[in-house]
A = this chain, B = another copy of it.
Amino acid sequence: MTDCQGDVEGASTPMELYEKLSEQGVKVRSLKSAKADKTKVDTAVQLLLKLKMDYKQMTGHDYKAGCPPSENDAAPNNGPAADVAGEDDTVDPWTVSTTNAKGVDYDKLIVVRFGSSKIDQELVDRIEKVCGQKPHRFLRRGVFFSHRDMHQVLDAYEKHKSFYLYTGRGPSSEAMHVGHLIPFIFTKWLQDVFDIPLVIQLTDDEKYLWKDLTVEECHRFAIENAKDIIACGFDINKTFIFSDLDYMGSSPEFYRNVVKIQKHVTFNQVKGIFGFTDSDCIGKISFPAIQAAPSFSNSFPHVFGSRKDIQCLIPCAIDQDPYFRMTRDVAPRIGYPKPALLHSTFFPALQGAQTKMSASDANSSIFLTDTPKQIKNKINKHAFSGGKDTVEEHRKYGGNADVDVSFMYLTFFLEDDEQLEKIRQDYTSGALLTGELKKILIETLQPMIAQHQERRKQVTDDLVKQFMTPRPLNFNL
């Protein structure tokens, strides 16, 4: 997928970009002919490739040395993403990257790009008041950092007008890593404290359309992932999990909503939002409607009957927001309420906060299938450290917790706020060494993963089938 953020680093016209590209081409050739240092050449080549991708995205065709762009090569990205060209971060449903070691600049992302609202202390306090429970650590620590219409959801809830939760996952492989659990851990908490129904979409059709996989493989991954999701402890009486490949063909009401959405979104719009091009298959182009449809309660008649007015709240990672901006745009035009959202930050790769974890790189992540030994080795070997090079220097200058991946992971998984704060202070002062910090993380993750594996073992095929059978759920709306 091309990204949708028009990330062209300051070049605002095809001609400017063409000139930049030509310059970079010359630079690469001169570095190569001078037999320059491999890293230098690699960096220059990477920038060249990036510029070429940007060029193709902007003009719709490949860069050709000696062939400057014509007047026809207008930037095709005229959707909501176009006005943020030049930012350092790239965030869309298929690409998350940043050049900043602390990770994506979320405040900027919220305000400049997405137009969502920050989850501030006031909102966290209000959630605590309304649900009567201590806010989840993801709220206390800004892992869920942005929202849309959460106050409205709480206003209604206070007046005894309830809502339902919708989250999901794209099952691109059997293997899930700890980062994939973030929305599910948080969604389970929301389900528990608000006592509300939940639908979980497994977009196996999406993965078939985007990846070099068969329909059967994607469907199998959906079932395998469902087991890990069920192992998070969802209430079977309040949770419906579905594979698109199954549910689309089992619910005329769901398909009707898909068609309604598809009628109200043009190719121009999805081009602007998702960066689709004319070479993309028609399945990708129409898919966003399928991710949008669960936002409307009458997509689940076995749960909500024909009611179309029940508010939906979607906890998801911020990269999924484009789908739901589109959904919120369409909702009033087809007579449905806009879904509310809670956005999480990304879970960093072991190698650092510049990228999201990847299920395809075994060493970038702690997988839910890893043994205690693998967890230990991966963290010791691959977790990017904010510590100093020698013990002496570390003791003297202290470590940088802000870029330290082990510390970041602890903010996700260590429940005790005071302990976490003490670790931060000790690491920053130099009292705590990198090896000691890693040991705390290892001892946090090993039992957590082991317990997950234990719970997953208990998930029988029959239980999966129960969770995935369209049926009434227990709740009071």
Chain A residues at the B interface, C-beta cutoff of 8 Å: 71-72, 74, 205, 208-209, 215, 245-246, 248-256, 259-260, 262-268, 270-271, 276-283, 285-286, 288-289
Can you report 22 residue pairs joining A to B where beta carbons are below 8 Å apart? A71-B71, A71-B72, A72-B72, A205-B259, A208-B263, A209-B259, A215-B260, A245-B256, A245-B259, A246-B252, A249-B249, A249-B253, A249-B254, A262-B286, A264-B281, A266-B279, A266-B280, A267-B277, A267-B280, A283-B289, A285-B285, A285-B286
Instruction: List the B side residues contacting A276 at CB < 8 Å.
Output: 267
Instruction: List the B side residues contacting A283 at CB < 8 Å.
Output: 259, 262-263, 265, 286, 289
- State A249–B248 Cα separation when bound (angstroms): 6
- The verdict on A252 contacting B255 (CB below 8 Å), with A267-B285, A286-B285 known, is no
- State A259–B214 Cα separation when bound (angstroms): 11
| A266→B278 contact, CB < 8 A | yes
| A252→B245 contact, CB < 8 A | yes
| A249→B246 contact, CB < 8 A | no
| A266→B251 contact, CB < 8 A | no
Given A209-B263, A268-B278, 17 other A-B residues pairs in contact with their CB atoms under 8 A: A71-B72, A209-B259, A215-B260, A245-B256, A248-B249, A248-B252, A249-B249, A262-B283, A262-B286, A263-B281, A266-B279, A266-B281, A267-B276, A267-B285, A268-B279, A283-B286, A283-B289
Closest chain-B Cβ to A222's Cβ sits at a distance in Å of: 12
- State A7–B244 Cα separation when bound (angstroms): 41
The prevalent SS among residues of A at the interface is helix
| B252→A251 contact, CB < 8 A | no
Give the contacting residue for A249; candidates B215, B251, B262, B288; CB below 8 A. B251
Give the contacting residue for A250; candidates B250, B264, B268; CB below 8 A. B250
| A267→B279 contact, CB < 8 A | yes
Instruction: List the B side residues contacting A208 at CB < 8 Å.
Output: 259, 263
**Closest chain B residue to A267 by CB distance?**
B278
- State A316–B204 Cα separation when bound (angstroms): 34
- State A43–B279 Cα separation when bound (angstroms): 40
